[in-house]
Structures are given as structure tokens and as C-alpha cells.
């Protein structure tokens, strides 16, 4: 599994309105082969984000130590065209296949152990991935 550093930002207003979101969601753009994939992560604007890729699977970890939560979202890079980039034929949306979220101290401790969010991001990803499959 390889750590990746995709371009991140906020979703376009058309996608936000289509999905009835009051605030725009965070998105990341990942290249796989000759295609660009949009991952709608939903992470907060002050969250720490880390991404890993293994083949056509992308793991997106979000952590916020100040608010005490963490989550992992697993995406599959498939063949879903990005309707908001219809003029660009190499743009696709990643399919969300699993996610998990822990926010209370006791939840984080039971999922990650006593060190909780002080663990390395890759260790947190590995432990949270067990809850996704």
C-alpha cells in the first residue's frame, strides 16, 4: 500500500445542491491510470487527512485531535462517470464501498487502543480497516 498526496478542495456547488448538503463536502482528486477520480470524502475543513492507494482501492483517513474523532473511508476506482465534468471524458467518481467513524474517547480507545489518536496514521488506518470488511 502506497501513501498518496491527492489534490484536495471543496466540492462544486452543483454537486453540493444535488446531494442536499448545507455545507460543501471535502473532495480529493486521485489519478489511476489515465483517469482522474473524484473522491467525496466529507471530511471537515480542519481535519487532518491521509490517503493510501492499493491498486484500484483508496483509503481516506480523517482525524481531528482537537475534537477527538477519526474515520476511515474506503473507495473503489471504477467506471462511474463524473456528471459534473461531462466535458472531460477522463473524469470519474470513485465509489464509496465502506466507512467507519469513531468520536468518543471510549470508542477510540476500544478501536485503536490506549494511545488512540497518538498512533501513527498508518497504524490507525490498519486498525480502522478491520471494521470496514
> What pLDDT was estimated at residue 11?
75
> What pLDDT was estimated at residue 47?
85
pLDDT digits 0-9 by tens, 61-78:
999 888 889 999 999 998
Give me the sheet containing 26-32, strands edge to edge: 2-4, 48-54, 57-64, 69-81, 91-102, 35-40, 26-32, 7-10
Q: Tell me if 34 sits within 8 A of 11, measured CB to CB.
A: no
Helix, strand, or coil (residue 6): coil
Q: Tell me if 36 sits within 8 A of 30, measured CB to CB.
A: yes
Exposed (0-12), middle (13-18) or buried (19+): which is 32, by Cβ within 10 Å? middle
> What pLDDT was estimated at residue 75?
94
Q: What length is written for the chain? A: 133
Backbone torsion region of residue 92, taken as left when φ is above 0, otherwise alpha when ψ lies between -120 and 50, otherwise beta? beta
Q: Which three cell numbers stand for residue 40?
A: 467525496
> What pLDDT was estimated at residue 87?
60
Residue ranges of the chain with per-residue pLDDT less than 50 = none
DSSP letter for each residue of 11-75: PPHHHHHHTT-SSPPEEEEEEETTEEEEEE----TT-EEEEEEETTEEEEEEEETTTTEEEEEEE
The pTM of this model reads 0.86
Amino acid at each position: 500500500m502506497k501513501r498518496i498526496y491527492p489534490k484536495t478542495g471543496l466540492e462544486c456547488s452543483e454537486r453540493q445542491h444535488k446531494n442536499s448538503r448545507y455545507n460543501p463536502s471535502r473532495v480529493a482528486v486521485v489519478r489511476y491510470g489515465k483517469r482522474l477520480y473524484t473522491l467525496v470524502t466529507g471530511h471537515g475543513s480542519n481535519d487532518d487527512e491521509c490517503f493510501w492507494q492499493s491498486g484500484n482501492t483508496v483509503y481516506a483517513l480523517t482525524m481531528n485531535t482537537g475534537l477527538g474523532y477519526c474515520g476511515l473511508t474506503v473507495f473503489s476506482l471504477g467506471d462511474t462517470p463524473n456528471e459534473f465534468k461531462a466535458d472531460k471524458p477522463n473524469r470519474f467518481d470513485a465509489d464509496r464501498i465502506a466507512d467507519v467513524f469513531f468520536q468518543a474517547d471510549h470508542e477510540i480507545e476500544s478501536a485503536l487502543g490506549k494511545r488512540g489518536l497518538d498512533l501513527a496514521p498508518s497504524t490507525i488506518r490498519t486498525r480502522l480497516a478491520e471494521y470496514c470488511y
